[in-house]
Amino acid sequence: MTFNSFNPPQRILMGPGPSDVSARVLSALARPTVGHLDPLFINMMDEVKTLLQFAFQTKNEFTIALSAPGSAGMEACFVNLVEAGDKVIVCRNGVFGDRMIQNVNRIGAEAVVVDSPWARAVETHKVKAALHDHPDAKFLAFVHAETSTGAVSDAKALCKMAQEHDCLTIVDAVTSLGGVELKVDEWGIDAIYSGTQKCMSCVPGISPLSFSPKAVAVVQNRKTQIQSWFLDQTLVMGYWSGEGKRSYHHTAPVNSLYALHEALVMLHDEGLENSWARHKEQHEVLAKGLKELGIEFIVPEEERLPQLNAIYIPEGADDAKIREYLLEHYNLEIGAGLGAFAGKAWRIGLMGHAAKSENVALCLTALKDALSQ
Amino acid sequence: MTFNSFNPPQRILMGPGPSDVSARVLSALARPTVGHLDPLFINMMDEVKTLLQFAFQTKNEFTIALSAPGSAGMEACFVNLVEAGDKVIVCRNGVFGDRMIQNVNRIGAEAVVVDSPWARAVETHKVKAALHDHPDAKFLAFVHAETSTGAVSDAKALCKMAQEHDCLTIVDAVTSLGGVELKVDEWGIDAIYSGTQKCMSCVPGISPLSFSPKAVAVVQNRKTQIQSWFLDQTLVMGYWSGEGKRSYHHTAPVNSLYALHEALVMLHDEGLENSWARHKEQHEVLAKGLKELGIEFIVPEEERLPQLNAIYIPEGADDAKIREYLLEHYNLEIGAGLGAFAGKAWRIGLMGHAAKSENVALCLTALKDALSQ
């Protein structure tokens, strides 16, 4: 048996992630590997921390890049903060809210589920009622930007409610970070995680993570041991302490962190508000073009994420065949529907580097062509 | 505040990992990102699986690349196989055996600890006695190649003993895979994990993992739910099923997997036996040179790993200053001692791509220079 090097084609990634990675980030990724305890690498990690604080809009001392994908970031929040027997109000309006519930259950904690319809924002009045009905709830968990449907929830309002009931908040920002307004400190988010492969336009595999001082205190005052060794952030806090000394926990994914550093430098250069505005502008052009094609969004206008456009598959169109056609003829990837929307919706991502005029133009033209086949 | 791109120097990595990554692997890493469900990527993943089966010398259907570092690979083995109340015999002769115990404890299982001296192989007679004394033990766990000390244990003999007592084996092969003889099927290893940043000479962040059919049956017949969602391999088995259909679990670290594929193709081209022989040859040259410098190994000759040479810091030499000198004057990284050997030993890695004459020559010359300062 012989094996050859893998040479992927240059795709245009307009699915729900991974998003297009720029040549600049790919080039950073391929720089020579240094040791994870090399003083130069440690300096770079300090910058990654500062840049993540900027991206999250937080002063949280505990702001790190977890060495695993966003789903591990989710689990890191739950296993560090939540103990068996704790009550957690979890909002579910898509796949990722459901995954939060599974995380709570596996800890032996109690999930109070607040269901909102898929493809809609979390219904704040239901959350308010749940907080009122469960004064013993310690945490409120919700997804800011549901990647499965493209709906954005009112994170600011949800955090305010939680604070009024002395609940800490655990927030999924996998698809929101860099793409829409997100202000960790101003909104009072206590634990937040994201992914690198969405609006950061970085390679997949890393999860930015930030805990408020209040959340850190909860972790440090637990009664029981954290059930995961790998995700135990008390062991990692020393590693990311920024005091110039890194204790060994695990080998950091050196090259992926080069890439994240570069992606964050680019975001910093552009400016957060500019990035949010760019995503919105490109979304509006795309939405207009989709309307002209007679295609409907699954999410009402005011609850739509600009960076993730979930649309109904037009009647008579073959889901898989159309996506295959786009990939084969245009090297264009759009995403299938997930969960309740599998086979019913497509998800068009305009994330990070992919949120640009040439991509929107191509997508509209290619989709029109594919639908007319 | 302004931030610039990070441009690391070209180091020569002769520590305990990450090891030197070849230009060929770095170049694969930087190829354009495709979607994790792209048919071409799925084909590549099938090859990664086949190549990992080759590297592990196994036919195990469940052979995957976990999307996180080796310490997550360790945890994946324990949380999937071991349930609360189970008895696990754990061999400890260094840092990583100790970490295994922490994994067992966090599951609520019982660890029967067999201690052997650091910098020595696991003492098989002690393991034999423990297996005899604990007929209810379900698992025997040990580290094949202790990265903290450079000692190799007799994995073949330990597995044979475990089989005689109907114990499944959980084996740490983080530093052994590709560097010394390792035969998963022939030796009868049931669960094994490794890392990419050692003798694979790939970037850090991925953990090759393989379960025997017997181990898979244990996972599938558990009485209790696996405590980790991210590491629950029953959810990932579908993703890696090789039936051409991948169900979504998490976004695979696409680019890191390009790099692993390339590193495995290179290992396959070289041949496993040739790779083992190369590590041994380079080790012998290094050992001879170290002897000439009057430097002693911490591990007896017959228990030494060729790819990780742990040596006593010569009397009067300043640990940190010498390592700093090597890094500053020669861009050469060697490793500090870990755990009981912190401040007492250095660890010189000859791993994968780094196991070559030019590195050995440089290391000996540079060390001689540094020690004479």
For B22, nearest residue in chain A (alpha carbons) = A32
Per-residue pLDDT, averaged over A297-303, amounts to 98
User: Is the pLDDT confidence value at A239 over 90?
Assistant: no
For residues B310 and B303, give the distance between their C-alpha atoms in angstroms, rounded to a whole number: 12
- For chain A, the C-alpha Rg in angstroms (whole number) is 21
For residues A160 and B330, give the distance between their C-alpha atoms in angstroms, rounded to a whole number: 55
For A30, nearest residue in chain B (alpha carbons) = B26
pLDDT digits (tens, 9 = 90+) for A240-257: 665 545 667 899 999 999
Lookup: tokens for A33: 């590997």
pLDDT confidence band for B243 (50 / 70 / 90): low
Residues of B in contact with A103 (CB under 8 A): 229
Binary contact (A254, B18; C-beta < 8 A): yes
- B203 and chain A in contact, CB less than 8 A: yes
Binary contact (B69, A253; C-beta < 8 A): yes
Do A158 and A124 meet the contact criterion of CB atoms below 8 Å apart?
Answer: yes
For B107, nearest residue in chain A (alpha carbons) = A227
Bridge pairing between strands A207-211 and A62-66:
antiparallel
What's the confidence (pLDDT) of residue B75?
98
pLDDT digits (tens, 9 = 90+) for B40-86: 999 999 999 999 999 999 999 999 999 999 999 999 999 999 999 99
Of B13, B21, B68, the CB nearest to A72: B68
- DSSP three-state, residue A23: helix
User: Is the pLDDT confidence value at B242 over 60?
Assistant: no
What's the confidence (pLDDT) of residue A340?
86
For B16, nearest residue in chain A (alpha carbons) = A35
- B103 and chain A in contact, CB less than 8 A: yes
pLDDT digits (tens, 9 = 90+) for B291-341: 999 999 999 999 999 999 999 999 999 999 999 999 999 999 999 999 889
For residues B135 and A67, give the distance between their C-alpha atoms in angstroms, rounded to a whole number: 39
Distance from CA of B164 to the nearest CA of A (A): 31
What's the confidence (pLDDT) of residue A209?
98
What's the confidence (pLDDT) of residue A312?
98
For residues A345 and A337, give the distance between their C-alpha atoms in angstroms, rounded to a whole number: 5
- DSSP three-state, residue A87: strand
- B365 and chain A in contact, CB less than 8 A: no
Cis check for the bond before A18: say yes or no (omega within 30 of 0).
yes
Of B234, B139, B178, nearest to B17 by C-alpha is B178
**Residues contacting B84, CB < 8 A, separation 6+:** B107, B108, B109, B224
User: Is the pLDDT confidence value at B8 over 60?
Assistant: yes
User: Is the pLDDT confidence value at B168 over 60?
Assistant: yes
Binary contact (A70, B250; C-beta < 8 A): yes
Of A71, A103, A229, the CB nearest to B250: A71
ipTM value: 0.97
- Average pLDDT over chain A, rounded to whole? 96
For A16, nearest residue in chain B (alpha carbons) = B35
pLDDT confidence band for A169 (50 / 70 / 90): very high
- A36 and chain B in contact, CB less than 8 A: yes
Bridge pairing between strands B191-193 and B168-172:
parallel
What's the confidence (pLDDT) of residue B1?
84
User: Is the pLDDT confidence value at B186 over 70?
Assistant: yes
Q: Which of A43, A147, A251, A332 to mutate to test the interface with B (most CBs of B within 10 A)?
A: A251
For A38, nearest residue in chain B (alpha carbons) = B333
Binary contact (B18, A251; C-beta < 8 A): yes
Counted across chains A and B, CB pairs separated by less than 8 A come out at: 257
What's the confidence (pLDDT) of residue B245?
58
Of A261, A327, A333, the CB nearest to B6: A261
What's the confidence (pLDDT) of residue B333?
98
User: In A196-219, which positions are buried (b, 16+ CB within 10 angstroms) versus exposed (e)?
Assistant: bbbbbbbbbbbbbbbbbeebbebb
* A347 labeled binding residue: yes
- A40 and chain B in contact, CB less than 8 A: yes
Distance from CA of B17 to the nearest CA of A (A): 7
pLDDT confidence band for A324 (50 / 70 / 90): very high
pLDDT confidence band for A283 (50 / 70 / 90): very high
User: Is the pLDDT confidence value at B105 over 60?
Assistant: yes
Its sign, for the CA torsion A44, A45, A51, A54, is: negative
Q: What are phi and psi of A207, to 5 degrees?
A: -125, 105
For residues A132 and A313, give the distance between their C-alpha atoms in angstroms, rounded to a whole number: 40
Domains and CATH numbers, chain B: 12-17+272-371 (3.90.1150.10), 23-268 (3.40.640.10)
Binary contact (B32, A26; C-beta < 8 A): yes
Of B176, B174, B182, B168, nearest to B208 by C-alpha is B174
Per-residue pLDDT, averaged over B117-136, amounts to 98
A 127-186 residues inside an 8 A Cβ radius of B: none
Could you tell me where the beta strands, DSSP code E, fall in A23-153? 62-66, 87-92, 110-115, 139-143, 145-146, 151-152
pLDDT confidence band for B236 (50 / 70 / 90): confident
- A121 and chain B in contact, CB less than 8 A: no
The DSSP element (H or E) to which B262 belongs, if any, is helix B254-270
Give how far the C-alpha of residue A239 lies from the chain's centroid of Cα atoms, to the nearest Å: 24
What's the confidence (pLDDT) of residue A38?
95
- For chain B, the C-alpha Rg in angstroms (whole number) is 21
User: Is the pLDDT confidence value at B244 over 90?
Assistant: no
Residues of B in contact with A327 (CB under 8 A): 38-39
pLDDT digits (tens, 9 = 90+) for B264-277: 999 999 999 999 99
pLDDT digits (tens, 9 = 90+) for A116-141: 999 999 999 999 999 999 999 999 99
Largest CA-CA distance found in chain A, in angstroms, rounded? 65
- B273 and chain A in contact, CB less than 8 A: no
Residues of B in contact with A254 (CB under 8 A): 18, 203-204
pLDDT digits (tens, 9 = 90+) for B110-125: 999 999 999 999 999 9
User: Is the pLDDT confidence value at A275 over 70?
Assistant: yes
